[in-house]
Amino acid sequence: MVRAGVGRRLLGPGTRRPRSRTAAGRADVPPGHRQGPVRAAGRGGAAGGSASRPARRGHRRRRATGGHRGPGWPVRRRARRVDDGDADGGGHVTTTAWRADPYADALRSGQGPLFLRRRDGGVIPLEVERWCETPDRADRSVLGRCRGTVLDVGCGPGRLAAALAARGRPSLGIDVSPEAVARTVRLGGSALCRSVFDPLPGEGRWDTALLIDGNVGIGGDPAALLRRLRRVVARSGLLIAECVPEQVDERCEVRVDNGRGALGEPFPWARVGARALTAHASRAGWNVTERWTLHRRSFLALAPAE
């Protein structure tokens, strides 16, 4: 079960709490796809370059933990990243990325504008207002397919995590943005300030995992992300992933941009359509069991391959 409120815990068999230690923030990027530190951002607006369809929110690699203390797992606890061999590569990078002020400010206000700006000047709009509203019909089509315990990867401001909690569904959101985690908690959801590439509670036992709002782009390598989640979800579990409506398969370097001169640091991102996601999933050990589109948003349900 999930207990609401600050300091709540996610309770259940096999869920354990690791010790924590301080470490520099890390990009939520599979090792081997890291970027180095960047120069201070200059001023500039969102104009210029071509705009893509909206991307969603993501999160970056965070802190480190180890060991076990018992069945409880506190909200907003920070953790150690997965060892290099477990995260499909090696190395890490220190960056603000999704913890930069433009993103946190947008979540606090519940309003944009906010973009991911490519190196070529093109922008990918971020749907901050929708993320901060209650679940729409497309979101509810995802919520209705969730079963058992649910892990919301890159939960953002928490609309899905809070809705799952309101339905009595044992669930946990993870996000590397402290502001996103705090907002999720205020809405009544459970959340950890954690990267998907860090050790997670209940690994291998989650019944459902969510990659909604474009979070299949986390780390800039969909195949690596899907391989990671193959180890997080139970063998009988389900992964629901949202993809872009277009048939694209692209990787790019982006920065969070509020259109008023404030920029985050660069990090790798990915955008994939249904065809590309199906191919990446197959290589990562998943089978597509269902596809649907609602309100111009496209989703795939994936099950672990035997």
Q: What is the pLDDT of residues 97-152, one digit of tens each?
A: 555 579 999 999 999 999 999 999 999 999 999 999 999 999 999 999 999 999 99
Dihedral sign, Cα of residue 28, residue 282, residue 171, residue 245: positive
What is the chain's mean pLDDT, rounded?
Answer: 78
224 belongs to a structural domain: yes
Of 177, 151, 174, the C-alpha closest to 164 is: 151
**Residue-by-residue DSSP string for 65-95:** EE----S--BTT---PPPPGGGTTS----B-
Whether residue 75 is predicted with pLDDT greater than 90 in this model: the reply is no
77 belongs to a structural domain: yes
3 belongs to a structural domain: no
Instruction: Provide the pLDDT for residue 262.
Output: 83
7 belongs to a structural domain: no
Whether residue 239 is predicted with pLDDT greater than 90 in this model: the reply is yes
Instruction: Provide the pLDDT for residue 101.
Output: 75
Task: Indicate the DSSP class of residue 9.
Answer: B
238 belongs to a structural domain: yes
4 belongs to a structural domain: no
pLDDT in tens, 276-304: 999 999 999 999 999 999 999 999 999 99
The residue ranking higher by pLDDT, 150 or 31, is 150
Instruction: Provide the pLDDT for residue 263.
Output: 85
Whether residue 47 is predicted with pLDDT greater than 50 in this model: the reply is no
Q: CATH number, domain at 24? A: 3.40.50.150
The residue ranking higher by pLDDT, 7 or 131, is 131
pLDDT band for position 39 (cuts 50, 70, 90): very low
Domain count, the chain: 1
- Of the chain, the percentage scoring pLDDT greater than 70 comes to 67
pLDDT band for position 261 (cuts 50, 70, 90): confident
Whether residue 63 is predicted with pLDDT greater than 70 in this model: the reply is no
- Cα(125)–Cα(239) distance, integer angstroms: 25
Q: Which two tokens stand for residue 157?
A: 């401001």
Whether residue 175 is predicted with pLDDT greater than 90 in this model: the reply is yes
282 belongs to a structural domain: yes
8 belongs to a structural domain: no
pLDDT, mean of residues 212-241 = 98
Contacts of residue 202, Cβ cutoff 8 Å, sequence gap at least 6? 12, 14, 15, 149, 151
Residue 138, domain extent = 19-33+47-304
Instruction: Provide the pLDDT for residue 71.
Output: 33
The residue ranking higher by pLDDT, 54 or 211, is 211
The residue ranking higher by pLDDT, 51 or 219, is 219
Contacts of residue 142, Cβ cutoff 8 Å, sequence gap at least 6? 160, 210, 212, 240, 242, 299
Backbone angle region of 179, left / alpha / beta, with phi > 0 → left and psi within -120 to 50 → alpha: alpha
Instruction: Provide the pLDDT for residue 306.
Output: 78
pLDDT, mean of residues 6-13 = 41
Q: Which of 28-42, 91-105, 149-163 has the lowest mean pLDDT?
A: 28-42
